[in-house]
Structure 1
Amino acid sequence: MTDRAFVAQLEGYGVTTAEIHYYRPDAPSLLQLFVWQEYDLAPDFPVLFDFLDHWQREIKAALHSVRIAHDKLIGPREWRAVDGIIPLQ
């Protein structure tokens, strides 16, 4: 069985982390931080924007700001051919 995360990385997905700052519904003058992380495609971020659409529809907390970080874990720099055999004793 193949890991879903590995298959997503091979399809071009990378890890996206979003810091979501929002106003607390019970105390509107206070900001709260929520950290969200999922595999997503940059630069369009369809998974993140689906989550943010869900947030605005279903969660009563108003968004203040969202900061995004993204990194592809598998890329050309990590794949290289090895020519030779290394004996281990």
Structure 2
Amino acid sequence: MAMSETEMMLKGYGLTTAEFYYRMPDYTHVLNTFIWQDYDTAPDHPRLFKFVEFWQDEIEGPLHSVKFTHRKLIAPGEWRQVVGEFTLH
């Protein structure tokens, strides 16, 4: 059974977003982009690297470069001291 997004985040997964730049198969001088998102674990990123391997094996457009970012969605919140309270009707 698959884990829910909340369970994944509690187990250390975070949202990984990758932007793939690849060359068009028929027009090698043209770069195109593809956006990929999935929950993954840092710093190894097994799901991202599995997708990169899939791309290299199955997709005709050769990769030029990949940019990615990883963000844990469950993290300590920002707290600040409140000195007073203002009520507006």
TM-score (norm: length of structure 1): 0.80
- The residue type equivalent to 1:31 in the other structure is L
Q: Secondary structure at the match of 2:9?
A: helix
Structure 1 position 74, deviation (Å) = 0.6
Q: Which segments of 5 or more consecutive residues in structure 1 lack a partner in the other structure?
A: 79-89
Q: Secondary structure at the match of 2:52?
A: helix
Note the aligned Cα RMSD (angstroms): 1.5
Q: Distance in 2 between matches of 1:26 and 1:42?
A: 35
Structure 1 position 55, deviation (Å) = 0.4
Which residue is equivalent to 1:11? 11
Q: Which segments of 5 or more consecutive residues in structure 2 lack a partner in the other structure?
A: 78-89
- Summarize the alignment of residues 1-89 of structure 1 with structure 2, pairs less than 5 Å apart: 4-75=4-75, 77-78=76-77
Q: How many residues align?
A: 76
Structure 1 position 70, deviation (Å) = 0.6
Q: Distance in 2 between matches of 1:25 and 1:50?
A: 22
- The residue type equivalent to 1:74 in the other structure is I
TM-score (norm: length of structure 2): 0.80
Q: Distance in 2 between matches of 1:19 and 1:70?
A: 12
Moved over 2 A (4+): none
Structure 1 position 6, deviation (Å) = 1.0
